[in-house]
Amino acid sequence: MTKELKFEEMIKKLETIVDELESGEIPLDESLKKYEEGVKLLGLCRKRLDETKRKVELLVKKGGKFTTEPFEE
């Protein structure tokens, strides 16, 4: 993974890895490599979601005017 993948590309790659692992048709060594790659991709997806979550703002109406506020859980 030399270039930075888009979130959607990472999800698609994860789906492919899961399909390959579930097929049971790849050798154990390759399965372990695919699993490790999947774990790394999952971590990158979580990181990207966390970064995006921090950027999300809610549109709120206060005193007749719309303003923005940071997203809070």
The owner of tokens 């930075």 is 4
1 pLDDT exceeds 50? Answer: no
What pTM does this model have?
A: 0.70
Q: Residue 6, class by beta-carbon neighbours within 10 Å (0-12 exposed, 13-18 middle, 19+ buried)? A: exposed
The pLDDT value given to residue 57: 63
60 pLDDT exceeds 80? Answer: no
Q: pLDDT tens, 10-50?
A: 999 999 999 999 999 999 999 999 999 999 999 999 999 98
